[in-house]
Structures are given as structure tokens and as C-alpha cells.
Structure 1
């Protein structure tokens, strides 16, 4: 999701399956956690900085430089590149930084080609629209995307049956389907709110306000929706999975 934490949903914050399940989790994996951690959900301080820095630098440099586009594009691009280089030097997982670099790169190219500063944010608007349509379609089709993600990220599944067994488990339970549907509606509402606020600002070329809205409705709103999703579905898979037989003494 465009403004969502960019760490892949299947990767744990600490690289292990057990701690993510017992504690928090990064990105959409937080939905399956027994305890919700805002810090882990947004990728920690580093994830927060990597997500916020390019857009913040773009707006600040754009205003300080007298609304000149090129310095703002250079500042945003440099922030994304530095994030990747630092991760590579430290030999830490760089998927989140590379994903951010891709998004920033598309925004930089679009704004550079058009000469319009607001086009730096156009890619985010497009991806939000795509995710809005996808989430809405999944609910209407009876396959809410939050349920699919939560099920597929439960690698063990009921009695070790694999991730698809988790999906089959909630598909067979009307109450769980309803809870996953409500959680998906929360994501629909988030994407719709972003578009409702940011599209008019984009059309009116209100670059400073658009950048501010993007930052305010980015990670903070994503963390809130992740928490709401967790509240709706927490423990649902574990609570309804058949209990394992006790180990032999």
C-alpha cells in the first residue's frame, strides 16, 4: 500500500516467526500478533524515518528554495538513496528501503517530466485508488483482503496445515468472515479519506498542503488502521484452531 509500511508483509521485524507471533509484528503481520506494537507495526524508528524523510524533504526544500522544483526532487531522491545505501552497508534487510526508493523514483520522474511539483505525489494517489478498489472488491466478493493476508501470513495454519488452511478456517466461520470484512472496510475508509483530502489539493496545485496531508495521513493513519484491524481479528485464528494434543511426557 502506497503509504503503508513498506516492509514486506511476510517478513518479521526480528527475522523470526515465533517472536512476531507472540509479540508485535511489522506491517500487515501485526494483525496476527498477540500484542500490538505501534513501533513494530511501522517498522521502528528507521522505518518511520525512511517513509517520512523523502516527502518531508521535498516539501521543505521546495518552500525554502522559492518553489523551485529541481532542488526539491534532488532532496527527496537523495533521502531515498541514502536509506538504501545505509541498509546495504549495515547488511540489514533493504526491501523496505528499495520499495521506498521505487516509489520516490516514480514520483521524481513524473514531476520532472511534467514540470509540476504536485506530480511528485501523483503516484501515491494512483496506488491509493488501486488499493481502494481492490479492498472494496474483495469485501463485495466475500473474500475480504484482510482475511486473506492474515490467513496467508499464518505459516503454520491450524494443526500445521499451512497458510491456506487458515484461510479455509475463517471462510467456514460466518463470524470470522464478518470480522475480517469489517477490518477490510477500515482500510477502504482510509484509502477513501486520503483520496478525498488529497485529490482536491493535487488538482489545485497546493503542493505544501498536499505534502503535509500526505505525511499526516500516511504512517499515523496506517498505524491506526492496523490497530483497528488487530482489535477486530486478534486471536481469531488461534482461538478457533483445534487444540494440539499435549506432548508425551
Structure 2
């Protein structure tokens, strides 16, 4: 374990990865759309079996590419597994739109979890942020901070609800091409918007919490133990 001149472990000062970085950054979000961009036209020109092979091959190529570059492969691995499951569903249903079924229902589950976390007063963004930064749960005692985390969580809930409603409607009407367009158009662009909104709200919440700690005499050690 390397340490600097002060004897501290250099990893202690390393900033925690952002939400966007954990998702593979902007390249990772773009890579996630490539299997879909292959699947839809190949299905239209050569049929479902060829489309499934094309999507799997594209996801596999992305994984190999990131391995060669020694990038973080976690998003690529999870992406490949996701594509494999979607391809399996499409194969079992015998319909190209089945490729999108898992993603649609996943959006509904995510939306429900985020909304429920707000209702029970444990907004998910606040919980995750506190766990990553070992900040404890004192933020729940400060209403402005809690509201900021509620809003950040609400942003993600709205994104997931919108994705589900639009894509499920297209799925039910069998518009596979438009469904693919909606998946891409409501995918990484909305994710980036949600991430930016989350970062702004979380930073605001942190400032509010620091002021609250100063006013009440709660130091960082007290906060982390609560």
C-alpha cells in the first residue's frame, strides 16, 4: 500500500467515483446503445436470429475493446449480461420487440423503488450518497437537506416513469423501430441530465448539512456515527 510523505495512504484522498463514472462515463453510456443500433436494422434486413447474433457480437466486442484498453470493465460486463438476457427473451417470444421487454419492466421497478424511498423518508439518493461517503444519517434530521435529497431522488423517479410509459406504449402497439429510438433518446441523454441535476442538488444538500452541523455543534465524527 503506497503512502505519501505524511504517512497517509494515498487512496484515502482519492475522490469517490461519480455516478456517471460508475456507469462507464459518457463513452459507457454511448456503448450501451450500440447493440440496439445493430439489433433493429439487422432484424429488419436479415431476421430475428441474425439480429440476436449481431447484438451479442456487438456487446462482446465492446467488452473485449475495454479489456484491451484496460478500462473499467464492470459496465461492459453488466451490459453484455443485459444484452444476453434481452436476446434470450426475444428468442423465446419469437418477436423482436421482446428484446426491449426486460428494460421496460426494469424501469417500472426502478421508478417504484425511488418513489417508495421518498414516501418512507429515506430518499435513495441520500442513502447511497451517505453510504459512499460514510456520512451517517444525521442529514435526515435537517429538513432542507432531506428535501434536497427528496428532489434528487424524484428526478430519477420521473426519468424512470417517463421511460416506462413511453416505451411500454410503443411495445404494446408493436412499433419496434420507434421503441429502439425511444430507448436511445430517453437513455443516456436523460441519464446525463439526471446526473447533473443530482450533483447540483447533492452539493446543495452538503452545504446545507454543513451549516446545520455548525449551528448545532455536530462535528464530522458525530455525523458519521449517527
Shorter-chain TM band: 0.7 to 0.9
Q: Does 1:129 align with 2:98?
A: no
SS in 2 for 1:234: helix
* Whole-angstrom CA distance in 1 between matches of 2:14 and 2:93: 47
Equivalent residue in structure 1 for 2:161, among 192, 200, 219:
192
SS in 2 for 1:100: helix
Q: 1:235 to 1:41 in 2, by over 3 A?
A: farther
Paired residue for 1:49? 30
The alignment's TM-score, normalised by the length of structure 2, stands at 0.81
Q: Which has the higher contact order (CA 8 A, sep 6+)?
A: 1
Paired residue for 2:196? 227
Uncovered stretches (5+) of structure 2, i.e. residues with no partner: 1-10, 214-218, 222-226
Equivalent residue in structure 1 for 2:57, among 63, 66, 78:
78
Structure 1 residue 139, shift from structure 2 partner: 0.4
Q: Does 1:172 align with 2:141?
A: yes
The structure whose residues are more often helix, as a share, is 2
SS in 2 for 1:143: coil
The alignment's TM-score, normalised by the length of structure 1, stands at 0.74
Report runs of 4+ in structure 1 exceeding 2 Å deviation: 16-21, 40-46, 62-65, 86-93, 235-239, 241-244
Structure showing greater Rg = 2
* Whole-angstrom CA distance in 2 between matches of 1:196 and 1:20: 36
Q: 1:63 to 1:20 in 2, by over 3 A?
A: farther
Equivalent residue in structure 2 for 1:96, among 75, 93, 105:
75
* Whole-angstrom CA distance in 2 between matches of 1:59 and 1:122: 14
* Whole-angstrom CA distance in 2 between matches of 1:108 and 1:137: 31
1:26-57 superposed Cα distances (whole Å, 9 cap, x missing partner): 42xx6xxxxxxxxx586345313321111111
Q: In terms of mean alpha carbon deviation, does 54-63 or 92-101 score higher? A: 54-63
